[in-house]
Structure 1
Amino acid sequence: MSSKNETLARALLDELGRTYAAEAGIRLKDSPQPLYQLLVLSVLLSARIRADIAVAAARALFDAGMKDARHMADATWQQRVDALGEGGYRRYDERTSTQLGKGAELMLEKYRGDLRRLRDDADGTEREKALLREVPGIGPTGADIFLREAQGVWPECRPYLDAKALAGAERVGLPSSPSALAKLVEEKDLPRLAAALVRVALDKKAADRVRETAAG
C-alpha cells in the first residue's frame, strides 16, 4: 500500500506534472539545441510575468527560427522583439531581446553554443549555477529554473528541488527535504515533480486540487 506522501506525489504528477520545457515544445535531451532552448525559456520565466506567457514567447522564438545560439545571435533585435510580442511577452520585450542577443553571443564565444561545455567546465552543480548566472537575464531564479528541468538529463544535479519547489511541498503537506521528496518518485520523474511543486507554490487552488485528488 502506498504511503500518504507517495499518494500525494502521484497526484502531483498526474495533475500538474508537465515540465515547462515540455509545455514550450522542447524535447529535452543532453544535446546543444534543446539545452539552449531551455536556457532561453529560463530567461523568459525569470521575469515577473505569467508562466504561460513565457512559454508562449519561447514557442514563438523557436517557431521564428531562433532555436539555437547561432540563429538567436544572427537574428536582429527587432526580429526578437517581434517574436516575443507574438507570444504576448510585451512588457519586457525590448530588454529581453537585448538579453537574448547578448546571451547568445556569450554562449557562442565561451561555449561554442553548447551548454555541455559549461557543464564540463563546472564539474558540479554549484559551479553550474554560478556559470549560468553569467548569462544575461539569468539570475538565481533563472539558474534554479534551468537546473530543475536539466536534472532530467544532468544526473549530477539530482535531486534539484529549490526553495520554490520546497515551498510547494510544504503547501501540500509533503516533506521539505529534497532527499525525502526524491524517494517518493522515480528519478526520471524528478523534473516533473519539481514543476508540479512550483505550480502549487504559485497557486493555492492547484494545491487544493492535488489534495482532493490524493484524498479521492
Structure 2
Amino acid sequence: MTGTASASARRITDALLEECGRTYAAEAGIRLRDTPQPLYQLLVLSHLLSARIRAPVAVAAARALFAHGMRTPRRMAEATWQQRVDALGEGGYRRYDERTSTQLGEGARLVLDVWKGDLRRLRAEADGDTEVLRAGLRRVRGIGPAGADIFVREVQAVWPETGFWVGAKGLQGAERLGLPTSTGRLSDVARDRDRAAFAAALVRAALDRETAETVRESALARK
C-alpha cells in the first residue's frame, strides 16, 4: 500500500468508525465478556442476524428475547416454543419466527449437552484454530457459515486468538468503500483500532449503500 493510499485508507477508516463504529453485540445490549451468558447471547444474535432479514429487526428480536429472560441456554431451553415465538414477534422477527423458535430451543439444548452451557469450552476445543471454532459453531441448529462468521467477527473483541476477522460481508463493505479487499491489508488499516467495531462497520457499509456514501464523502472532506 502506497503512502497516499494508506493515508486515504486511514481517512476512510476514521470516517467509517465515526459514522457506524459499533458492534452488533453492543447494539443488542450485550456487554460482551469472556463469560458464559454474554457469549451465549452473542450466539443467539449471530443466529438471528444470519437470516435474510434486516439487521435492525434481528437486533430488536435479540433484545426482546433477552428482555423476556432468555439470556442463557437453560432459560432458552426452558421457555416454551410459543414464548420464544412471541418474543421474536415482539421484535418484529415474524417471517421466520416459528422455525427460529424451534431452532433456538434445539440449539440451546445442544449448548447445554455438548458444552455444559459454556461456550468457553468450545474455545478450548478450538485451541486457537478459527476453522475448528467455526465448525463447532455450525453444530448448533440454525448456525450456518454466515452465522459462524458473525460470531467470530464479534467475539474477536474477547477471543483475540481468532485473529482479525471480517468475513465475506465485511470484505464486500471494504470494496464498496475503496479499502483493501484482503484481510491482511485490512488488518494493517485497522491497526490500533477496535477491530471488532471496524469489522462490524464494514458490514454496515456493505448492507447500506447510503452509509457507504456518507462515509466516503466524510473521508473526502478530511483531506
TM-score class, shorter-chain normalisation, is over 0.9
How far apart are residue 38 of structure 1 and its match?
0.3
The aligned counterpart of 2:65 is 61
Deviation, structure 1 residue 185: 2.6
How far off is 1:16 after superposition? 1.1
Q: Which amino acid aligns with 1:207?
A: A
Contact kept, 8 Å, 1:152 with 1:188, in 2: the verdict is: no
Q: 1:122 aligns with which of 101, 109, 126?
A: 126
Q: Which moved more, 1:185-194 or 1:60-69?
A: 185-194
> Following TM superposition, by how much is the alpha carbon of 1:187 offset from its aligned partner in structure 2, in angstroms?
5.2
Tell me whether 1:151 sits opposite 2:156 in the alignment: yes
CA distance in 2: counterparts of 1:85 and 1:136, whole angstroms: 20
What is the CA–CA distance in structure 2 between the aligned matches of 1:168 and 1:106, rounded to whole Å? 33
Stretch of structure 1 that moved more, 161-170 or 135-144:
161-170
Matches of residues 95-114 of structure 1 in structure 2 within 5 Å? 95-114=99-118
Q: Distance in 1 between matches of 2:88 and 2:57?
A: 9
Distance 2:106 2:55 in 1: 23
After superposition, the Cα gap between the structure-2 partners of 1:187 and 1:99, relative to the gap in structure 1 and judged at 3 Å, is farther
Number of residue pairs the alignment of both structures matches:
216
**Is the aligned partner of 1:84 residue 2:115?**
no
| Alpha-carbon distance, 1:112 to partner | 0.7
Residue 21 of structure 2: which of 17, 20, 30 is its match?
A: 17
Please, what TM-score do these two structures have when normalized by structure 1? 0.97
Listed one character per residue, the Cα deviations across residues 75-98 of structure 1 (whole Å, up to 9, x for unaligned) are 111110111011011111100000
Q: TM-score, normalised by structure 2?
A: 0.94
For 2:213, which of 202, 205, 208 is the aligned residue?
208
Q: Which runs of 5+ in 1 are unaligned?
A: none
Report whether the alignment pairs 1:196 with 2:201.
Answer: yes
Confirm or deny: 8 A CA contact 2:166 2:200 kept in the other structure.
Answer: no
Alignment-derived partner of residue 93 in structure 1: 97
Bigger CA drift: 180-189 or 19-28? 180-189
The share of aligned pairs that are identical, in percent, is 65
- Partner Cα distance (1:154, 1:24) in 2: 19
How far, CA to CA, are the matches of 1:47 and 1:18 in structure 2? 20
Determine if the alignment matches structure 1 residue 168 to structure 2 residue 159. Answer: no
**Equivalent residue of 2:70, what SS?**
coil
Question: Is 1-10 or 74-83 further displaced after alignment?
Answer: 1-10
Q: Which runs of 5+ in 2 are unaligned?
A: none
1:134-188 Cα deviation digits (max 9, x unpaired): 1011000000010000011111112112111111111111101112112223455
In 1: Cα distance, 2:42 partner to 2:193 partner: 17
RMSD across aligned positions (CA): 1.3
Indicate if the aligned counterparts of 2:17 and 2:198 stay in contact, CA closer than 8 A. yes
The one-character-per-residue Cα deviations of 1:16-65 (angstroms, maximum 9, x if unpaired) are 11111011000111110000000000110111111000000000000000
Q: Separation in 2 of the partners of 1:106 and 1:163?
A: 27
2:53 corresponds to which residue?
Answer: 49
* Contact 1:132/1:138, CA 8 A, preserved across alignment: yes
Q: Which amino acid aligns with 1:148?
A: R
In 1, are the aligned partners of 2:47 and 2:147 still within 8 Å (CA)?
yes
